[in-house]
Chain A
Amino acid sequence: MAEIVIDVRDVSISLGGHSVHQDLNLSVTRGEVIALIGGSGTGKSVLLREIIGLLKPDAGHIDLFGQSVLDSTPEQMNALRRRFGVLFQDGALFSSLNVEDNVATPLFEHTRLAHGTCRQLARLKLDMAGLLPDDAKKRPSELSGGMRKRVALARALALDPELLFLDEPTSGLDPISARAFDTLIRLLADSLGLTVFLVTHDLDTLFSIIDRVIVLSEGRVLGSGTVAELKNIDDPWLRDYFAARAPERENAHGN
């Protein structure tokens, strides 16, 4: 059961002459919904880019599904890429394609299905991501920020990956959409058996759908555990982090 899906061992990287991670270790098992948190500039996005193979660390090992990301041949890497989906922070939609074709692109490329069927499946994913059928023919430039995120989620889910990476999925969404997005992620994780690795600042996300939180600080993993366990860690940043958001939460519940 406890198959390790992401395994990061002793990873170090420096960018622009300044060290981002030193001997960073973390692992994620199948079916977990993991959040990565940390202050600005602690290298959360860098770590995400390393895991998905966009950035090569100076030292260390990164395995996905037991296969090394760093030593794979391009073919092995492509096969690996089909098993995970990525939602970039600003959506990163292809601006020359409409919404439906954006979502259908992975299906066009990696399956033998007819294009009409791919588009139907794209519609299904769009509906699962909470978009209306009318949006399918729009261009990315005609969408609001929240809608772009949903389209990007639909695209990340197009090939039904086992592992989903989300870079700040709820930033830029209104609270109602953000909670709906969280629920959607949790629902998909549970019903499809997805492993979810998300980078977030959203405390509501942490409290509602996350199994385990990993805290990054000064280039290392400061700790990991449930939100309740993290509150016991004595770290100034972590204390401020929870303290800064606590009053807001109470107000939100009071209304």
Chain B
Amino acid sequence: MTEARAYYDEAQGALIVSGDWHAETLVELPVLPVSPVHIIDGAGVTQLDTNGAWMLLAAAGREVSDPLPELRAFQPQHQAILELVARHSATTAMEPGPSHEGVLALAGRGSLAMGKHGLGLMNFIGHLSVELIYLVSRPSQWRWREFGAQLSAVFVGAIPIVVGMLFLLGVVFAYLLGSQAQQYGANIFVVDGLLLAILREISPVIVAVLVAGRTGAAITAQIGTMKVTEEIDAMTTLGLSPIAVLVIPRVLALLLTLPLLVFIGDIAGIVGGMLVTHEQLDISYYVFVDRMADVLRLKTLLVGLFKAPIFAVFIALIACRMGLSVARDARSVGEHTTSTVVQCLVAIIILNAIFTVMFVKLEI
């Protein structure tokens, strides 16, 4: 493979080119004393493809509007390629790449996007309500099969991770609380603290976060991919409402199963804590359960279970809306799935803060 060479011959007033002119042998253009060159001598050119031809013409300093320089001693097929390329050379200048934005601009863009998400969610809730009102009077149009499939996907599949996660959190929480309480001889109060923390805060929030990451992301990715492959459009033209077929079963499935998962999480967390208090603080299982019966009030459990369906509705609505607003390309599916998880987490944390303040003010 010979290198592509070009030099300017003063005597002939011509650019003398030789060697292999194709993309893999080329690095950069030679700088010429005269530009543009009016004669190109190609007697020594052994190979030439369209990339090479473009580079050759660029080396001669030819502007797009200039006439083709005189091509001398080129082989006929090389001459043809040069003429072909000259005809097709780009007719517009390259525009500069996007400039980098400052922190302020990024923050502004982020705030606008958040506002847009908020508005979009409201709009979506409106659509969903209209559709729900329509469906209430037509029970035959409910998608029971889809609802059942979603129940099993959202609920059954999530049980192992919920149990594992909450069990370990119960262990960790009881252990830390126990090591503090032991110093004051207040071993038995570990049970009080553990129950309050697991039932009221840890279980609902952690289960909601798990479901947002697990089911929320899956919903957006699935609906988004259906959008990309035009399945949603096909559904609409067949007279099926995507909201009735896809969104409502998912919202209902999450609404029903998240409290159940939180309850399972409650039990797993308490069992984890119970094991630790038994080992670390010598509180027997019997004493633990006895203490639990004394101090556990129904409202502690209900506060946690009350939060769950509200988290569920937000997760389902955000995930479905983001799925339906995917544009027709793969990148958009990824972006929207990420956005779903982020929005769900933010929503869960904000809602939980509101609930905590609200319950304290209401003295519940």
Question: Which of A's residues lie within 8 Å of B, judged by CB?
Answer: 82, 95-96, 107, 110-114, 116-117, 119-121, 123-125, 127-128, 133-134, 137, 139-141, 157, 159-160, 187, 191-193
Interface residues of B, CB < 8 Å — how many? 32
Say whether B49 faces chain A, with CB atoms less than 8 Å apart. Answer: yes
- Give the complex CA separation of A95 and B88 in angstroms: 26
From A96, A107, A110, A137, name the one whose CB has the most chain B CB atoms within 10 angstroms: A96
A124 engages B23 (CB within 8 Å):
no
B88 engages A124 (CB within 8 Å):
yes
- Give the complex CA separation of A112 and B51 in angstroms: 13
A191 engages B23 (CB within 8 Å):
no
- Give the complex CA separation of A116 and B91 in angstroms: 15
Q: Which of B10-18, B184-192, B193-201, B327-335 lies on the face that meets chain A?
A: B327-335
Q: Given the interface contacts A95-B329, A95-B330, does A124 sit within 8 Å of B92 by beta carbon?
A: no
B329 engages A160 (CB within 8 Å):
no
- Give the complex CA separation of A120 and B58 in angstroms: 10
Selected A-B contacts with CB under 8 Å, 26 pairs: A96-B331, A107-B51, A111-B24, A112-B26, A112-B27, A113-B23, A113-B26, A121-B23, A123-B92, A124-B51, A124-B54, A124-B85, A124-B89, A125-B50, A127-B88, A127-B90, A127-B91, A128-B50, A133-B92, A141-B327, A159-B24, A160-B52, A191-B80, A191-B81, A191-B84, A192-B49
- Give the complex CA separation of A121 and B55 in angstroms: 8
A119 engages B94 (CB within 8 Å):
yes
Closest to B26 in A: A113
B329 engages A139 (CB within 8 Å):
yes
Q: Which residues of A contact B332 (CB under 8 A)?
A: 95, 141
B81 engages A120 (CB within 8 Å):
no
Say whether B284 faces chain A, with CB atoms less than 8 Å apart. Answer: no
Q: Which residues of B contact A110 (CB under 8 A)?
A: 23-24
Question: Which of B's residues lie within 8 Å of A, judged by CB?
Answer: 22-24, 26-29, 49-52, 54-55, 58, 77, 80-81, 84-85, 88-92, 94-95, 327-332
Q: Which residues of A contact B88 (CB under 8 A)?
A: 124, 127-128
| A interface SS class | helix
Closest to A127 in B: B88
- Closest CB-CB distance, B145 to chain A, in whole Å? 28
- Which of A107, A128, A140, A192 makes the CB contact (< 8 A) with B329? A140
Q: Given the interface contacts A127-B88, A141-B328, A191-B81, does A160 sit within 8 Å of B49 by beta carbon?
A: yes
A192 engages B23 (CB within 8 Å):
no
- Give the complex CA separation of A111 and B28 in angstroms: 11
Q: Which residues of A contact B85 (CB under 8 A)?
A: 124
B330 engages A96 (CB within 8 Å):
yes
A116 engages B54 (CB within 8 Å):
no
Closest to A114 in B: B28
- Closest CB-CB distance, B358 to chain A, in whole Å? 43
Closest to A82 in B: B24
Q: Given the interface contacts A113-B26, A121-B54, does A192 sit within 8 Å of B81 by beta carbon?
A: yes
Q: Given the interface contacts A124-B90, A128-B88, A160-B49, does A111 sit within 8 Å of B26 by beta carbon?
A: yes
Q: Which residues of A contact B24 (CB under 8 A)?
A: 82, 110-111, 159
- Which of B29, B81, B90, B331 makes the CB contact (< 8 A) with A95? B331
- Give the complex CA separation of A128 and B23 in angstroms: 17
B23 engages A133 (CB within 8 Å):
no
- Closest CB-CB distance, A88 to chain B, in whole Å? 15
A-B pairs, top 4 by smallest CB distance, nearest first, are: A95-B329, A160-B49, A123-B90, A133-B92
- Give the complex CA separation of A82 and B58 in angstroms: 24
B331 engages A133 (CB within 8 Å):
no
- Give the complex CA separation of A95 and B81 in angstroms: 31
Closest to A125 in B: B50
Closest to B328 in A: A141
Closest to B333 in A: A95
Apart from A123-B94, A124-B54, A128-B50: 16 A-B pairs, beta carbons within 8 A: A95-B330, A110-B23, A111-B26, A120-B94, A121-B51, A124-B88, A124-B89, A128-B88, A139-B329, A141-B332, A159-B51, A160-B50, A187-B84, A191-B80, A191-B81, A192-B81
